[in-house]
Structure 1
Amino acid sequence: MIVVTGATGNVGGNVVRQLLDAGERVRAVTRSPDTARLPRGVEVVRGDLAEPSTLTGAFDGAERIFLFPVPSTVDSVAELAKASGVRRVVALSSSAAADQDDNPISVMHRTVERALENSGLDWTFVRPGGFATNTLSWAPSVRAESVVRAPYPDAAANLIHEADIAAVATTALLEDGHVGARYELTGPHSITQAEQVQAIAAALGRDVRFEEQTPEQARRTMVEYLPAPIADILLSYWAGSVGVPAPVLPTVEQVTGRPARSYPEWAVDHAEDFGAPS
């Protein structure tokens, strides 16, 4: 039995499906089992990582878990997992965990990693950089107007497909030899924001326009759905990425044996989100 927390998320949902494809018994932990829409054959239980008391019994009979990062309760969750017989944890982390500054993203993931390092569990950290799914924030304007409004069209990123993050996590759950690894993950190429919009247009088979915003205009929009410090971190990152190719790592292929999916492939996989017919 393998337990997947954050089982309805972009990465967790893919971990569930990939484990099922591998013939594993899977227990999915979600705050809302009635609306989870998880695949047939999954044992679905209610639990909230922010409230460890709701996880009583969730880890029983499991030796391995996929853990979504919640820093405020990670110590309690790790203790409960260990007491339930769990031996190995594969945690969703971030490349920001390697940074030594005090920005909120780095602090969050370092907190989770340090807690697991001290937990007595065997651990593996999966550290993706930018998620391709972050660009789903463009979907409403693409559907409505065939336009993307964003700053820094020439800012480059190494965006990774969520299915590849899940593939590395799934491999670490299923195979020996990954304990103590910190897997830094990127997509297979550096791609600018303007090129991302071109990839979305190609996936949809219609024109999509990039309309450049000033950083101030972008920030006003971003703080409607992101905490202001996170918006500032993203804007600073984009500003520093203009004209600078993003580093690309071969980790996905090294761990899983197959190349990482490109951003154009991701755009095809998510064409319906941007308004293509189903």
Structure 2
Amino acid sequence: MKIAVTSASGQLGSAIVKELIEQIGKDNVIGIARTPENAKHLGIEIRKADYDNRQDFDKALQGIDTVLLVSGMAEPQKRIQQHRNVIEAAKSNGVKKIVYTSIVGDAEKNAFSPVVQSNRQTEKDIQNSGLDWCIGRNGIYIEPDLEYIATYIKEGEIRNCAGDGKCTYTSRAELGVAYAKMLLEEKHNGQIYNLVGEPITQTQLADYINQVYNTRLVYNPVSVEAYATERKAALGDFIGTVIAGIYEGIQSGANDIRSDYEEASGRPHKLPVEMIKAVKNN
């Protein structure tokens, strides 16, 4: 059985590849990357393909039984067609099953909603493909908060517009475990799973970071408008708006959802403090 993983050079793709190698060995895992050199460290066969190029995927998916489609990073409308390039190539090349990394979130009510909508459209495209399929809806990764920790320490606070809203954080390593099972086990076919952990507030997040990193961070909420202005100034309009929309979604409860992680992976999701320790020690 040959499994291909798109965006293998990215952090999520790499985590899934590593988990698959442990389960089925290097010879059965193929990485697909726009820039193959960036995925060489994985030690598997890497095939070149760009989401914008359907012909690339016609070559890259030859001899593949199952493909993992990692959601692209382009703006929402462009992303839908990019994903269709992979789905159509999978159908044409005899791929039997497609697994997709979607996201949790509200498709209607905030600045992150257009990204959620584009993911929901790809979910529909996959369900209508005629292939076996399984979809994971990823929670918010905890890693970016920990990558940002130097800034938090400098400012003495975590500041955003999530308020008292709860977020079911996950990590790329936890997702790697779940997606490997979803790719390998037929019992997951036709399922959509919320791949999320325990719901926590930003105040709890600050407390857990303080425990693990011996810091003294506090959480301070700001308005959605103020946070959007701040993030756009720091990150540019598109990414700034998306990030603010994510925290607006947390505030309104879009990320306080039931977890299907144990059903997908066969084990309980790690607790937030365990994930923070794992990232720190990695």
Normalised to the residue count of structure 1, the TM-score between the two structures is 0.84
Q: Say whether 1:271 aligns with 2:273.
A: no
**Corresponding residue for 1:173?**
183
Alignment of 1:34-45 (within 5 A): 34-36=37-39, 38-40=41-43, 42-45=44-47
Q: 1:143 to 1:206 in 2, by over 3 A?
A: closer
1:116 partner letter? I
**Corresponding residue for 1:20?**
21
Alignment of 1:112-131 (within 5 A): 112-131=122-141
Q: 1:121 to 1:218 in 2, by over 3 A?
A: same
Match of 2:80 among 56, 71, 87: 71
2:216 partner letter? D
**Distance across 2 between alignment mates of 1:168 and 1:186:** 10
**Distance across 1 between alignment mates of 2:228 and 2:255:** 24
Normalised to the residue count of structure 2, the TM-score between the two structures is 0.82
Bigger helix fraction: 2
Following superposition, the deviation at residue 209 of structure 1 comes to: 3.9
**Distance across 2 between alignment mates of 1:202 and 1:94:** 29
Deviations 1:81-103 (A, max 9, x none): 22222110111112348x57793
Q: Say whether 1:183 aligns with 2:193.
A: yes
Q: 1:231 to 1:204 in 2, by over 3 A?
A: closer
**Corresponding residue for 1:10?**
11
**Corresponding residue for 2:212?**
203
Q: Say whether 1:234 aligns with 2:246.
A: yes
The 8 Å contact of residues 69 and 101 in structure 2, kept in 1 or not, is answered as yes
**Corresponding residue for 1:48?**
50
**Distance across 2 between alignment mates of 1:73 and 1:39:** 24
Deviations 1:30-89 (A, max 9, x none): 12222335322x112222113323334211111001001241222232121222221101
Q: Say whether 1:257 aligns with 2:266.
A: yes
Cα-Cα RMSD: 2.7
Number of aligned residue pairs: give it: 267
Q: 1:222 to 1:106 in 2, by over 3 A?
A: same
**Corresponding residue for 1:219?**
228
1:90 partner letter? V
Q: Which runs of 5+ in 1 are unaligned?
A: 273-277
Following superposition, the deviation at residue 146 of structure 1 comes to: 5.0
Following superposition, the deviation at residue 5 of structure 1 comes to: 0.5
**Distance across 2 between alignment mates of 1:72 and 1:144:** 42
Match of 1:30 among 33, 36, 51: 33
Is 208-217 or 105-114 further displaced after alignment? Answer: 208-217
**Distance across 2 between alignment mates of 1:245 and 1:119:** 28
Q: Secondary structure at the match of 1:92?
A: strand
Is 227-236 or 73-82 further displaced after alignment? Answer: 227-236
**Distance across 1 between alignment mates of 2:40 and 2:67:** 20
**Distance across 2 between alignment mates of 1:171 and 1:212:** 38
Is 131-140 or 151-160 further displaced after alignment? Answer: 131-140
Q: 1:66 to 1:108 in 2, by over 3 A?
A: same
Deviations 1:98-132 (A, max 9, x none): x5779302321121112112222111111123332
2:14 partner letter? G
**Corresponding residue for 2:75?**
none
**Distance across 2 between alignment mates of 1:235 and 1:96:** 11
Q: 1:232 to 1:54 in 2, by over 3 A?
A: same
**Distance across 2 between alignment mates of 1:35 and 1:74:** 21
The 8 Å contact of residues 157 and 190 in structure 1, kept in 2 or not, is answered as yes
Q: Secondary structure at the match of 2:187?
A: coil
The 8 Å contact of residues 18 and 167 in structure 1, kept in 2 or not, is answered as yes
Deviations 1:108-167 (A, max 9, x none): 112111211222211111112333235346334036455433234533211122222222
The 8 Å contact of residues 104 and 255 in structure 2, kept in 1 or not, is answered as no
Q: 1:245 to 1:131 in 2, by over 3 A?
A: closer
1:39 partner letter? L
Is 205-214 or 174-183 further displaced after alignment? Answer: 205-214
**Distance across 2 between alignment mates of 1:231 and 1:208:** 21
Q: Secondary structure at the match of 1:127?
A: strand
Following superposition, the deviation at residue 10 of structure 1 comes to: 3.2
**Corresponding residue for 1:57?**
59
